[in-house]
Structure 1
Amino acid sequence: MFFDGYACRDGAGAGVVLISLERLILQLSFVLAKTCSNNGAKYQDLTVGFEMTSHMKIPHLDVYGDSQLIINQLSGSYEVKKEYLFSYHQYATLLLQKFDQVFLNYVPREENRRANTLANLDTTMTLGENETTNVHVCNRTVSPGCIDLQVDESHHTYV
């Protein structure tokens, strides 16, 4: 599971990418209802991912995120110093107990591009509070050299 959260003055979003052992990919983007800090958004995103995978009865989970702070706080290497992060950390720790085994891994931002892109979708989509939408991402290439183009010049105006 890859996770990332994003917050700015216009709102906050979260992105989760689940990849199964069979390489099936589920990508999800969430608009967060309340404005928060970047770390708050990342914690919310992580807990959404934990909730989803817990409901899916996934016993073993490899987690990847580009926040050293959150990865190290959950693994116990860092202490939670900011008061506003206590409840996020507490809830994430509670959710961790639902799994048989969880590996928490820090990855550089470049390796977390999918989750980062999904987290930023909310600011570009501007959906209403109770709105949802499906975004289909397709791979497609158009090779003009392989297409027989016929141009109807009767619709063109030349100056």
Structure 2
Amino acid sequence: MLKWGVELGQFDLECMPRTAIKGHALADFLLEFDSEVDDKALVVSHPSHTEDVLEEFSHPWWILHEDGAVNNGGAAAGIVLVLPEGHHLMIAIYFKFYVTNNDAEYESLINGLKISLEMGVRNLIAKSDSELVVNQVNGGFQARGPQTKLYLRCMQRLIRKFKEVRLECVPWDRGKRITTRMLWKK
């Protein structure tokens, strides 16, 4: 290291220690460069399986945990996308516009779906702690306000782009443990 410092010293370069890589850096990297690669690195061959099994294996299930939150500090969304291999991609989004708590829940779910589509996800299990949002999207509750109807239409449009989406309601404390840790750390 010292040798490189001496060699590069003549060029007025300043060496800086490497800082920690944030969790969203990997997601940003994948989103930026995934579309440039036509081939996939993983080639799967199972000649003894039926077409149904191959179809299921070629589109594995991803899991999306999301949580929207509003407090005195503003509004934010925490998104954790779990790859089939078990890796976690964590994204925090800070809203610079006024949202209610329900709007923040919709915004986080919509952004999670958009990120999933960008990643090429076909089968997705989305987990939310908002009973209202889950039931409105699944058809159990009616969307009444004009803003809520817009969010619902946007959700339905995004869901149609996937092969299959399952939206599940998880208990409040379970969803919070996964996403809230990263929301308010700026």
TM-score class, shorter-chain normalisation, is: 0.7 to 0.9
Kindly indicate whether residue 116 of structure 2 is the aligned counterpart of residue 53 of structure 1.
yes
Quote the residue 2:151 is aligned against.
88
TM-score, length basis structure 2 = 0.62
> 2:129 is matched with which residue: 66, 74, 86?
66
- The alignment's C-alpha RMSD in Å is 1.2
> Which residue does 1:3 correspond to in 2?
66
Paired residue for 1:115, among 138, 155, 179?
179
Q: How does 1:1-159 map to 2 (within 5 A)?
A: 1-112=64-175, 113-118=177-182, 120-121=183-184, 124-125=185-186
Query: Bigger relative contact order, structure 1 or 2, given CA contacts below 8 A and separation 6+?
Result: 1
Q: CA deviation at 1:111?
A: 1.3
- Give CA deviations for 1:131-154 in whole Å, capped at 9, x if unaligned: xxxxxxxxxxxxxxxxxxxxxxxx
Distance 2:128 2:88 in 1: 17
Distance 1:15 1:24 in 2: 16
Contact 1:7–1:35 (CA<8 Å) still a contact in 2?
Answer: no
The superposition leaves residues 11-50 of structure 1 with CA deviations (integer Å, 9 ceiling, x where unpaired) of: 1100000111111001111101211100001100101100
Counterpart amino acid of residue 81 in structure 1: R
Note the residue ranges of structure 2 that are not aligned, 5 or more in a row: 1-63
Task: Name the % identity.
Answer: 27
CA contact (8 A) 1:9 1:35 kept: no
Task: Give me the whole-angstrom Cα distance separating, in 2, the residues matched to 1:33 and 1:72.
Answer: 27
Instruction: Write the distance in 2 (CA, Å) between the matches of 1:14 and 1:42.
Output: 7
Unaligned residue ranges in structure 1 (runs of 5+): 126-159
Measured in 1, the distance between the counterparts of 2:82 and 2:102 equals: 23
* CA–CA separation in structure 1 for the residues paired with 2:134 and 2:159: 12
Distance 2:68 2:105 in 1: 4
Aligned length: 122
Conservation of the 8 A alpha-carbon contact between 1:3 and 1:49: yes
3-state SS in 2 of match to 1:21? coil
**Whose helix fraction is larger, Structure 1's or Structure 2's?**
2
CA distance in 1 between counterparts of 2:178 and 2:145 reads 28
- Could you give the per-residue CA deviations for residues 51-83 of structure 1, whole angstroms, max 9, x where no partner exists? 010111110000101000000111111110222
- Amino acid aligned to 2:178: R
